[in-house]
Amino acid sequence: MPTPDDVTGEQKHSLLRYLRQEILPTAFCSGCGCGTVLRTFVQAVDELGLSPEEMVLVTGIGCSSWIPSPYFKADTLHTTHGRPLAFATGVKIMLPHMKVIVIAGDGDIAGIGGNHLIHSARRNIDISVFMVNNWNYGMTGGQVSPTTPMGARTTTTPYRNIEPPLKTAELVAAAGANYVSRWTTYHVFSLVKAMKYAITKKGFSFVEIISQCPVSYGKLAGMRTGSDFLRHFRDHSIRVAKARELPEKELRDKIVVGKIVERDEDEFVDKLYRVNEIQAEKLGVKKGRVSAE
Ligand SMILES: Cc1ncc(C[n+]2csc(CCOP(=O)(O)OP(=O)(O)O)c2C)c(N)n1
Ligand code: SF4
Ligand SMILES: [Mg+2]
């Protein structure tokens, strides 16, 4: 029986070349959705024919933040909890030709970083965000997050969560993003398509990925394995078009999947550079650069 060490370079999966193989296997728990998100992201990058040299990946702190960093072999900013969009905004402004991609958790993006999310979407800056929504703060042991379903038991809501979850994708759509969709780790083919679309679409793109945390969340939710969650995602998902026909109260235990919005509004960095150029011309300074003085 061959061991993984016996596998020659030629036999290795071709997508492994996108990963830092020297630190594999990943630190994700068995059955964690982070592995699926990493796999679908690599597939999307490969299908687009993108070189990792054309990308900057930005992330925060949490299990999901390990998807881009350290595993994906590209330039990566592993920033502070809640701040990936602030860092990503700076990167995109200074390196507008690069694909700037944020992959991080629900706590990071919708909790502590919620304000950055709303205003990045409002500005419609050309950044793609993949928010891994595992319904809890996985890395720190399973605390309630802003996206935890109502009624769920978590380590900080042992008597069940009484707060309704934030509809993050709908919020981002309302704030002005050019592309928003939601899928789950069960819908891998649709997820790859959505990631490809989000990466290529100009303006702010947001894909909410409902994902499983069988360890920190699952221990109190009664779903202990990855497949328990996948069955749940399969049985509770409903397409956007169908959901729009139903009253809101019938959607309480449903996961609405599909494209939520698509528009072609102007993007932020283009406008910023245009304003700078006009101003530079007026001031007679070198094109594209306006000094703060
Ligand atoms: C400013 C700050 N507050 C809190 C923490 C502790 N902390 C680290 S990860 C994390 C939650 C991560 O949850 P999420 O972003 O949903 O990622 P997940 O682990 O679930 O993938 C928290 C609260 C921190 N590192 N920095
Ligand atoms: S704690 Fe949860 S989110 Fe973190 S690696 Fe384990 S299963 Fe995944
Ligand atoms: Mg989380």
- Is the pTM higher than 0.85? The answer reads yes
Tell me: pLDDT of 3 over 60.
no
Tell me: pLDDT of 293 over 60.
no
Which ligand sits closest to the CA of 111?
A: 1
Tell me: pLDDT of 1 over 90.
no
List pLDDT tens digits, range 105-145: 999 999 999 999 999 999 999 999 999 999 999 999 999 99
- Is the Cβ atom of 34 under 6 angstroms away from ligand 2? yes
Residue to mutate (ligand 1; options 140, 212, 215; most atoms within 8 A of CB): 140
What is the position in ligand 2's atom list of the atom closest to the CA of 141? 1
- Is the Cβ atom of 132 under 6 angstroms away from ligand 2? no
At 12 the pLDDT is 84
Instruction: State mean pLDDT over 73-83.
Output: 98
Tell me: pLDDT of 37 over 90.
yes
At 285 the pLDDT is 87
List pLDDT tens digits, range 186-211: 999 999 999 999 999 999 999 999 99
Tell me: pLDDT of 6 over 70.
no
- Taking the centre of ligand 1 as the mean of its atom positions, its distance from the CA of residue 100, in whole angstroms, is 22
Tell me: pLDDT of 35 over 90.
yes
At 165 the pLDDT is 97
pLDDT > 90: percent of the chain: 93
Confidence of residue 7 (pLDDT cuts 50, 70, 90): low
Say if residues 65 and 103 touch (Cβ distance below 8 Å).
yes
CA atoms within 13 A on the CB side of 256: 21
At 128 the pLDDT is 99
